[in-house]
């Protein structure tokens, strides 16, 4: 069985569109669908009426992306759990296809697919694990001035061939397939990450536990990138990014690295404000 989990936060229109496309390309396998209303106040009663198979979970407060996903994961019964953003649009039965591929290779712990923009063009959806160096450059907005920084290009995998399947460090959380045995061994997403870096952390933990992370080039869906965060201001999003990054640095690079990023936070805030001001002019 495949358990599909989607977290709704002020994305009712996108959630309904995603479900319409999912059932239009109904998975040719046993599956269940959970939609977590993550304390946004959206009335999903029309979705419940239109899609009676969908199991709705209502959170009284916003638990963040990881916390919302974990609510669905906790109830999921599938051998594979697929985290699907509300802004995904299915164009084929990619659910049963990805289940088939995961069953064929038991060493794949997490998988992602080729995500396209709504116009069908390729979207960047795999990256190498971040390092203190490239994340420092990101937070001081160095790529706004120097567009070809080697460490940033390494992290963003600008050399990656999206037409070929490959093992990678991390895949985008917008379509994120997790093997049940991985969850049993390393646990769910770390809900200490309110938003951002939770899938990076999970991929890193997966690889450390002995599984692989796989990108499937021959499976795809469309993704309206950014629509899940449209209700957040740029500065608020960047505040969340910095908080999550500090947690990631502490977990994977130690206390000293966390402390450095914490002490440098005023510089990062100033850089964010400055970049936002320039962008708005």
H/E stretch holding 14 reads: helix 12-24
- Cα–Cα distance, 108 to 179 (Å, whole number): 8
CATH number for the domain harbouring residue 172: 3.90.550.10
Angle at 252 between CA 248 and CA 256, to 5 degrees: 90
Same domain? For 218 and 80 the reply is yes
Reduce the DSSP state of residue 228 to 3 states and report it.
Answer: helix
Same domain? For 265 and 202 the reply is no
Same domain? For 65 and 9 the reply is yes
For 149-169, b/e burial (b = at least 16 CB within 10 A) is: bebbeebbbeebebeebeebb
Same domain? For 205 and 218 the reply is yes
> What's the pLDDT score for residue 235?
79
Same domain? For 154 and 166 the reply is no
Please provide the DSSP assignment of 35-48 as one string: EEEESS----HHHH
Reduce the DSSP state of residue 234 to 3 states and report it.
Answer: helix
Instruction: Spell out the per-residue pLDDT of the chain, length 281, in tens.
Output: 999 999 999 999 999 999 999 999 999 999 999 999 999 999 999 999 999 999 999 999 999 999 999 999 999 999 999 999 999 999 999 999 999 999 999 999 999 999 999 999 999 999 999 999 999 999 999 998 888 899 999 999 999 999 999 999 999 999 999 999 999 999 999 999 988 999 999 999 999 999 999 999 999 999 998 665 565 677 788 999 999 999 999 999 999 999 999 999 999 999 988 877 666 65
Same domain? For 78 and 11 the reply is yes
What residues make up the domain containing 96?
A: 2-125+162-227
Same domain? For 93 and 154 the reply is no
Q: How many domains would you assign to the chain?
A: 2
**What residues contact residue 260 under an 8 Å CB cut-off, 6+ apart?**
132
- Cα–Cα distance, 259 to 110 (Å, whole number): 31
- Cα–Cα distance, 160 to 53 (Å, whole number): 39
Same domain? For 85 and 142 the reply is no
């Amino acid at each position: 069985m495949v358990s599909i989990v989607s977290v709704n936060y002020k994305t009712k229109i996108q959630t309904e569109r995603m479900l319409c496309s999912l059932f239009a390309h109904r998975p040719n396998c046993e599956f269940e669908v959970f939609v977590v209303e993550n304390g946004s106040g959206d009335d999903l009663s029309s979705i419940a009426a239109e899609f009676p198979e969908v199991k709705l979970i209502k959170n009284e407060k916003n638990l963040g992306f990881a916390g919302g996903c974990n609510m669905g994961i906790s109830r999921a019964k599938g051998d594979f759990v697929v985290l699907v953003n509300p802004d995904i649009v299915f164009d084929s039965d990619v659910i049963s296809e990805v289940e088939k591929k995961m069953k064929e290779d038991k060493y794949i712990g997490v998988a992602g697919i080729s995500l396209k923009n709504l116009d069908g063009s390729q979207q960047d959806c795999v990256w190498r694990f971040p390092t203190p160096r490239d994340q420092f450059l990101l937070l001081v907005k160095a790529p706004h001035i120097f567009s070809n920084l080697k460490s940033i290009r390494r992290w963003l995998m600008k050399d990656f061939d999206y037409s070929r399947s490959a093992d990678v460090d991390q895949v985008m959380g917008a379509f994120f397939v997790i093997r049940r045995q991985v969850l049993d061994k390393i646990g769910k997403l770390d809900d200490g990450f309110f938003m951002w870096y939770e899938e990076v952390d999970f991929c890193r933990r997966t690889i450390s536990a002995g599984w692989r992370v796989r990108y499937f080039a021959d499976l795809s869906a469309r993704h309206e990138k950014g629509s899940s965060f449209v209700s957040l201001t740029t500065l608020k999003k960047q505040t969340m990014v910095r908080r999550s990054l500090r947690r990631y640095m502490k977990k994977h690079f130690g206390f000293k690295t966390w402390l450095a990023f914490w002490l440098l936070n005023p510089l990062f805030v100033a850089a964010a404000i400055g970049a936002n001001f320039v962008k708005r002019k």
